Amino acid sequence: MSKIAATFSALKAHNKTALITFITAGDPSPELTVPLMHALVAGGADILELGVPFSDPMAEGPVIQRACERALANGVGIHDVFGYVAEFRKTNQTTPVVLMGYANPIERIGAATFIAQSKAVGADGAIVVDYPPEECEEFAAAMRAAELDLIFLLAPTSTEARIAQVAKVGGGFSYYVSLKGVTGAGNIDTVEVAERLTAIRRHVQLPIGVGFGIRDGATARAVAEVADAVVIGSRVIQEIESAGKDGAVAAVQTFVSGIRAALDA
């Protein structure tokens, strides 16, 4: 059982919803990445998504775009991201870490190197936004062989064929994008989300996390009624932006603690 699967299993045994949080590595500064990761866990996050900075993050709204721009301006690349995970693992061996990003940085270093490095530093999986499941069965198999989960996105527009393909090659959990748009946009229709998750579960046996548009405890709680996990990214980064470098770590922990409390209420 992978670390991600074990986390979901343990939470289900206690009737709890997983809280998955996202930050971009290197934002607002390289030296704050690992402290922010620890703050997310201290606040109650169960799984961490660590964004690999990329210059053209096509699925991201303005908030995460700005985070990528700041990280790239700080000179942070994929090898630095591996280093942050290794540093985090020195004092936390249990919280799953998922690397989230785009194909280009992986293609530049090579899929085999990406998988080997991810495994070596203690990452547990990856979300590659622009790797369609139909075209990366070989990559997914290599990830599985290294005991890493390859996690795929599903959207309101996903066809039955796409859902079935994700069920075939995906691991860890499936990430349902609740909105037609980019991260941080719009308001979630939880009734529509519930209907779509019912359809997805006809094919997908993995836990399902819901993200894009979850901004507060009330929304997180509503989504938790129908999903196995809630995913929050843009709102966390807004806390970092508002607090600035000096206050970012404390602000993130406080915000995530509020979401965790709402989920557990």
Residue in 60, 107, 138, 147 annotated catalytic = 60
- 8-state DSSP, 95: S
Residue 60: active-site member = yes
Residue 239: active-site member = no
In the beta sheet, which residues pair with residue 126? 99, 150
Tens digit of each residue's pLDDT (9 = 90 or more) over 51-61: 999 998 887 88
Q: What is the pLDDT of residue 185?
A: 47
Tens digit of each residue's pLDDT (9 = 90 or more) over 125-182: 999 999 999 999 999 999 999 999 999 999 999 999 999 999 999 999 999 998 755 4
Between CA 27 and CA 57 the distance in angstroms is 15
Q: Sorting pLDDT into bands at 50, 70 and 90, what band is 117? A: very high
Residue in 31, 49, 87, 239 annotated catalytic = 49
Between CA 54 and CA 212 the distance in angstroms is 19
Between CA 224 and CA 260 the distance in angstroms is 11
Q: Which domains does the chain have, with CATH numbers?
A: 3-264 (3.20.20.70)
Between CA 130 and CA 252 the distance in angstroms is 28
Assessment of whether the complete model's pTM goes beyond 0.85 = yes
